Amino acid sequence: MIISGKNSIYEALAGKITINKVMILSTQHDDFSKKIIDMCKSRHVRFDFVKKETLDKIATHHQGYVADVTEFEYSSLDDILEGKQNHFILILDNIQDPHNFGSIIRVCDCVGVDGIIIPSRHSVLVNETVYKTSGGAISHVKIAKVGNINEVIKALKEQNVWVYCAEAGGKSLYSNDYKGSVALVMGSEGEGVSRLTRELCDEVISLPMFGKVNSLNVSTATSAILYEMVRQREKL
């Protein structure tokens, strides 16, 4: 897999992703390029100086940095739950847009979510666009790919995790207490949360809407809800 851009390369080197090779624009001689070179040396990662034409053929908007990395290594549900007492989990129900997925990963890193759970089918998986849109946050967020998110929800509820579903027509986001073990389910861009999944959740919550437009982009809505949850949880 190819990733590109300053932040993506830096976070990949700082994280646990296996990197096969880093390519650096031959005219780059600033402090950042020196830092990247030092990081490559410390991790014993091969790096080459190449012409702009070479990078342009591999990636767009590369900012002078491209890396060849191994495929993303998904976590398991146990990896996400391990060592945690008050779980804070995000479940994505068939998100299709890699830009939304990448933005959501970035938010999850910022708010300290334990991990993200996605279905293995009918959902965007980690790809080059997701890497880049996450701004490098993907190196720090656990993502589990599962066969059936409904079964995961059942398993979480058995462990006393309260599962919220974000959909229109639910209880106001601001009328709940999110200080215990919680999981939030966000639905796809077009269909929202599927009916069976919604019925499995403990409670449906909604963001208040006061304008003429009655919906938000899924990454924006996810950000707003997670930040309200973490605002309360920070008082633990």
- 3-class secondary-structure state, position 168: strand
Question: Is the pLDDT reported for residue 235 higher than 70?
Answer: no
Question: Is the pLDDT reported for residue 10 higher than 60?
Answer: yes
Domains of the chain: 2-69 (3.30.1330.30), 77-233 (3.40.1280.10)
How does pLDDT run across 101-122, given as a tens digit for each residue?
A: 999 999 999 999 999 999 998 8
- 3-class secondary-structure state, position 24: strand
Question: Is the pLDDT reported for residue 236 higher than 70?
Answer: no
Residue pair 153/163 in contact by the 8 Å Cβ criterion: yes
How does pLDDT run across 40-54, given as a tens digit for each residue?
A: 999 999 999 999 999
Retrieve residue 56's tokens. Answer: 């342009």
H or E segment and range at residue 150: helix 149-158
How does pLDDT run across 133-172, given as a tens digit for each residue?
A: 888 788 889 999 999 999 999 999 999 999 999 998 889 9
How does pLDDT run across 211-232, given as a tens digit for each residue?
A: 777 778 999 999 999 999 999 9
Classify the phi-psi angles of 217: left when phi > 0, otherwise alpha if psi is within -120 to 50, otherwise beta. Answer: beta
Retrieve residue 70's tokens. Answer: 């191994």
Distance CA 15, CA 136 (A): 9
